[in-house]
Amino acid sequence: MSSLTLVRRIKARPSIVWDALTTPEGIGYWWGPDAGPVVIAETDVRIGGRFRVRFRMLDGTEHESSGEYREVSKPQRLAMSWRWRGEDDSGESLVEIELRAISAGTELTFMHSQLRDDEIRTSHEQGWGGALDKLVQHYLEHPNGASHGIA
Amino acid sequence: MVKYERQLGKTFAALADPTRRAILARLEREDGASISGLARPLAVKLPTIMKHLDVLHSAGLVTRSKAGRTVTVRLAATPMQSAMAWLSRYERFWSRSLDRLSAYAERKEAAARRRTP
């Protein structure tokens, strides 16, 4: 099992960050790895409620993920199961987000965990597929090597 | 783990050179190329390409196979690269998404402050 943790300090109060994370309107502005549009955003923010988000990347491919909210403590903590739909599917994982009020606004701690290592094999079998660009990008951003990632 | 890190160091060292990155980018687009085919668009001499290929090979990034007099070079699929593919998939997705989320929330905050100074 692997996990990814990211931290952001945001100059906005937690309730605003919370709305950005949980409302379809907010999600439409940020969800996805490039400037491509979000084409579906549905959220039912309560324990047991579901979300579904579909985005189109600039290369034209569409990707969709969905899951179930596991913890909803507005505006501090959000946890949800995560699963890609279709070809991207590699089983269920867990996303946890914590918001902490700080003087500058909000510290957001993001963790995506329970990522199965067999995904690594899947990527392997599918070959590089654009990974080189990302690898080089990663190298440029982290010249001292990967200090995070595979746990 | 030490072995893994040493391999990682080799990989990053191999990637640090623009000619080698150009070779890898080319091999990513094409499934295999000959050594002379790789040298042609890069305006470097064959022995130079051979040296770069040695570095890439020793970093586990390419494989070479010989058929007759032609050596075909291909990208290697190693666990290291798979790990990177994995890492880049999730890291890129979330890192960029959270950057955009931050920018959006900061705009909303600024707008809220303008309304209630």
User: How do residues A81-122 score in pLDDT, each as one tens digit?
Assistant: 999 888 777 789 999 999 999 999 999 999 988 776 544 444
Mean pLDDT of A38-49: 98
pLDDT, tens digit, 9 for 90 and up, residues B43-80: 888 899 999 999 988 888 888 998 888 899 988 866 44
Percent of chain B with pLDDT over 90: 24
What is the per-residue pLDDT for A128?
A: 39
> Which residues from chain B sit within 8 angstroms of residue A99, using beta carbons?
none
The helix (H) or strand (E) run that includes residue B111 is: helix B79-115
pTM for the model: 0.60
**A116 CB within 8 Å of a chain B CB:** no
**ipTM value > 0.85:** no
Do B70 and B95 fall within a single domain? no
Facing residue for B15 by CB, picked from A4, A33, A135: A135
Q: How confident is the model at residue B84 (pLDDT cuts 50, 70, 90)?
A: low
Whichever domain contains B29, its CATH number is 1.10.10.10
Total structural domains in chain A? Answer: 1
Question: By CA distance, what is A13's nearest residue in B?
Answer: B109
Facing residue for A128 by CB, picked from B9, B28, B87: B28
What is the per-residue pLDDT for A127?
A: 39
Do B90 and B70 fall within a single domain? no
What is the per-residue pLDDT for B29?
A: 75
Do B66 and B93 fall within a single domain? no
- What CA–CA distances, in Å, run from A127 to A64, B20, B67, B85? 21, 19, 23, 9
DSSP string for B14-58: HHTSHHHHHHHHHHHHSS-EEHHHHHGGGT--HHHHHHHHHHHHH
Facing residue for B86 by CB, picked from A31, A105, A119: A119
Q: Using an 8 Å Cβ cutoff, are A38 and A55 in contact?
A: yes
The helix (H) or strand (E) run that includes residue B87 is: helix B79-115
Do B66 and B86 fall within a single domain? no
3-state SS class at B79: helix
Do B81 and B95 fall within a single domain? yes
Do B42 and B95 fall within a single domain? no
Identity (one letter) of the amino acid at A84? Answer: W
Strand A77-84: give its sheet, edge to edge: A2-10, A105-115, A93-102, A77-84, A62-73, A50-56, A38-43
How close is the nearest chain A Cα to the Cα of B33, in Å? 16
What single-letter DSSP state applies at residue A86? G
Q: Tell whether A150 is covered by a domain.
A: no
Cross-strand bridge partners of residue A40: A54
Range of the domain at A89: 2-115
Task: Output the six-digit token pair for B35.
Answer: 């050594």
With the CA atoms of A147, B2, B3 and B9 taken in that order, what torsion angle do they form, in degrees rounded to the nearest 10? Answer: 40
What is the per-residue pLDDT for B32?
A: 85
Distance of CA A42 to the CA centre of its chain: 15
Instruction: Name which of B4, B98, B107 to mutate to probe chain A: the one with the most chain A Cβ atoms within 10 A of its Cβ.
Output: B98
Strand B70-75: give its sheet, edge to edge: B33-34, B70-75, B62-67
Do B42 and B85 fall within a single domain? no
Facing residue for B94 by CB, picked from A112, A120, A138: A112
Helices of type H across chain A: 14-22, 24-30, 118-125, 131-141
Cross-strand bridge partners of residue A64: A54
DSSP string for A71-120: EEETTTEEEEEEEE-GGG----EEEEEEEEEETTEEEEEEEEEEE-THHH
Residue linked to tokens 């990211």: A6
CB contact under 8 A, B100 and A123: no
**A142 CB within 8 Å of a chain B CB:** no
Task: Output the six-digit token pair for A4.
Answer: 């990814």
Q: Tell whether A121 is covered by a domain.
A: no
Range of the domain at B71: 2-75
